Amino acid sequence: MARRPMSWTMSLAVVLCMLVFSISIVEAVEEPSDQTAIEASTPTACELDRDFADVTGDGVEDKVVLVGWKQDPSGHFSTRTAITVTDGATDESWHIEAGLVTSGYGGRLFLGDFSADGVADIMAALPTGGSGGMVLYSIFSCANGNPKTLFDQDALSVGPRCSVTFRAGFTAAVFNRELRRSFDLDLSKSKQRYIEAGVYDSEGALLEDTHGVVNPYELLQPRDIDGDGTYELVGFQRVWGLYHADTLGVARSVWRWSEGEWELAELQVMKPEDLLAGMYWTVMVSALSPGMLVTLTLDEGGEARMSHDYVNGQPAVVQIGTWTANDNRTVSVHFTDIDGRSINDTMRFRLEGDLLVAIEYDADVYGWEGLTLERHSQAKPQLVTVRPDAVGQEKTLRGYVVLGPEVKVFTPCDSNERIWVTDESGELWDLYQDFAVEPYEPIFVELDACEAEPPTHGVGRSYKQHLVVTRVVRAAHEGWDCRENLAGIEFKARGVEPFWNVTIDENGITFFELTRMQVKFSAAPAAVAPGRWIYYSTSTVPKGHWILIVIDEKRCVDPMSGEVYGFVAEVLIDGQRYQGCAARGLALPK
């Protein structure tokens, strides 16, 4: 049985969904017009953040305010968040919804040119709270007074799609789908933990199929990396193994605007201590000179060197010592020498993306504002291309697979074509063995895969098509298969004890359970967060019921059939909870 991450609590889903009142992304809107709802909730509009820049492109500075509506003005939680833009030339104002999920704890703005048109764009960050510390990001353009989305909340917040698979020899492979690259992480420093958990034996042999998780972005920073006046986005994601505190590494990605769209320009996955290595610097105001240039260099070998250059023609003051990465995303720097004299001084920094923020320091030197250093350079880890022959974009396919010593063939639902497959997911063979009763028996699967060049040797050379499988979404011996019509369907979910099922399509939501029979609900757009779809609706036949559905992109196994799904479903109908598995349809909202 594979080890899987724990699911989010249903209570967080209720908070996220029940407070998503508006799903519009960008449109000019006024204050809520439903007077009854306003009087019942009496929210107060509070300013969360503000900034000034020319966001319309007319050469006049505009005012941008992030507004949150709060039940308690003194509290941190906003039931709704929006951006108000006031044109500096005309004094005209309009609103932009912060994203699909508009509730959160505070928020902040950044104004800068991301799209290389010479006009500042608007970046909004909305912390959602919870133990994961998730922050939802979105970017908008208001050039020529026309608001539009440059990077929507769902796509921007989730980050590059990666899978994590434990491998023999105390290593883990992190595979990215967009770039089709794999990164190896050394787990040997924590091998005793994994031996005790039953993942490995003492020789490093893998005892069971084990997978980790790459979190959505924990931090996304605008950075003008190449100094051309256009900002790139630098994001950081935690990679973890058996549980959230089991940090395996950090994924650092760079997004860049190119030819009218965002492209993933760079991706690195490395151990936390490797991420820290590099040079950091800042320029500070000094009462003794025109300024003070502070640089801190953390070598990969653990040596540290910090210099203070007062830019007055005199040699810089240099401190030398060692540094250590801590488990709580902090780094301790212990200095033992300053310009040839022995000292015993320790500073501690917190890592915030490409920034080191001092949390233990000498206030007499750095003042009440403290010290924040920005990364100047960093070591580049070696990238390993898994499939150099992969030529197509990743797509989702449904069909039947047959595997054996000399057969690795996939047949799509809508075709009789036989396609050779190469499994990079690390799951397909094990699932086939679980479900195939007889040798070479077809089993139904839903796969995420990329087209590749046909094999040039071995048994596969006789096949005209070739697929590289990156993820197994569903697998079954019986049950829903190619005969299931998923046209117009967003999700279908079902569960047992009691038996129930729900269908979400373009016409609405239909729920069936033996004791309730059938209840129909009006159509409701999904509130989409990274890896999560949330629906809330009220019934049409019969009236008087409400339903909340939360679907998470996580592995789920039907307890009756053993069928494997790629989604977990939790349903609340009139307060009664149902749990089960879900299959995505052909109209899945992105």
Q: Of 125, 158, 191, which residue is a domain's last? A: 158
Return the structure tokens found at 395: 């797509």
Question: Are 263 and 137 in a shared domain?
Answer: no
Question: Are 18 and 48 in a shared domain?
Answer: yes
Assign 3-class secondary structure to 272-333.
HHHHHCEEEEEEECCCCCCCEEEEEEECCCCEEEEEEECCCCCCCEEEEEEEEECCCCEEEE
Can you give the C-alpha Rg of the chain in angstroms?
A: 27
- Mean pLDDT confidence for 198-220: 88
Q: What is the CATH number of the domain that holds 315?
A: 2.40.128.640
pLDDT digits (tens, 9 = 90+) for 267-293: 988 877 677 777 887 777 655 554 577
- Residue 388 covered by a domain: no
How many angstroms separate the CA atoms of 120 and 107, rounded?
A: 19
Cβ neighbours for 491, distance < 8 A, ≥ 6 positions apart: 502, 503, 504, 533, 549, 551, 567, 569, 582, 583, 584, 585, 588
Question: Are 148 and 209 in a shared domain?
Answer: no
User: Taking the CB of residue 36, how many other CB atoms lie within 10 A of it?
Assistant: 7
Report pLDDT for 20.
35
Cβ neighbours for 437, distance < 8 A, ≥ 6 positions apart: 477
Q: Give the sign of the dihedral formed by CA 241, CA 243, CA 248, CA 249.
A: positive
Cβ neighbours for 82, distance < 8 A, ≥ 6 positions apart: 29, 66, 67, 95, 96, 97, 98, 102
Report pLDDT for 40.
45
Cβ neighbours for 46, distance < 8 A, ≥ 6 positions apart: 67, 68, 69, 70, 73, 78
Q: Of 101, 136, 158, which residue is a domain's last? A: 158
Question: Are 151 and 26 in a shared domain?
Answer: yes
- Residue 267 covered by a domain: yes
Q: 506 vs 6, 11, 486, 490, CA distance in Å?
A: 31, 27, 11, 8
**Phi and psi angles of residue 441, each rounded to the nearest 5 degrees, phi first:** -85, 130
Question: Are 90 and 182 in a shared domain?
Answer: no
Q: Give the sign of the dihedral formed by CA 450, CA 455, CA 458, CA 462.
A: positive
How many angstroms separate the CA atoms of 534 and 15, rounded?
A: 11
Question: Are 147 and 40 in a shared domain?
Answer: yes
pLDDT digits (tens, 9 = 90+) for 479-526: 668 888 888 899 999 998 889 999 999 899 999 997 777 999 999 888
Question: Are 127 and 200 in a shared domain?
Answer: no
pLDDT digits (tens, 9 = 90+) for 14-43: 333 333 333 333 333 344 444 433 344 577
Question: Are 16 and 135 in a shared domain?
Answer: yes
User: Taking the CB of residue 516, how many other CB atoms lie within 10 A of it?
Assistant: 14
- In the three-class reduction of DSSP (H, G, I as helix; E, B as strand; rest coil), residue 153 is classed as helix
Report pLDDT for 392.
58
Q: First and final CA of the chain: distance in angstroms?
A: 30
Q: Of 128, 143, 158, which residue is a domain's last? A: 158
- Residue 537 covered by a domain: yes
Assign 3-class secondary structure to 159-202.
CCCEEEEEECCCEEEEEECCCCEEEEEECHHHHHHHHHCCCECC
* DSSP string of 220-246, one letter each residue: EEEE-TTSSS--EEEEEEEEESSSTT-
Q: Give the total number of structural domains in the chain.
A: 5
Question: Are 113 and 216 in a shared domain?
Answer: no
- Residue 390 covered by a domain: no
* Rounded percentage of the chain residues whose pLDDT exceeds 90: 27
Question: Are 24 and 120 in a shared domain?
Answer: yes
- Mean pLDDT confidence for 178-207: 90
Question: Are 539 and 427 in a shared domain?
Answer: no
- Residue 576 covered by a domain: yes
Q: What is the CATH number of the domain that holds 132?
A: 2.40.128
- Mean pLDDT confidence for 83-97: 89
pLDDT digits (tens, 9 = 90+) for 96-121: 887 766 787 878 899 999 988 889 99
pLDDT band at 149 (very low <50, low <70, confident <90, very high): confident
- Residue 387 covered by a domain: no
- Domain span including residue 256: 162-274
Question: Are 448 and 461 in a shared domain?
Answer: yes
Q: What is the CATH number of the domain that holds 448?
A: 2.40.50
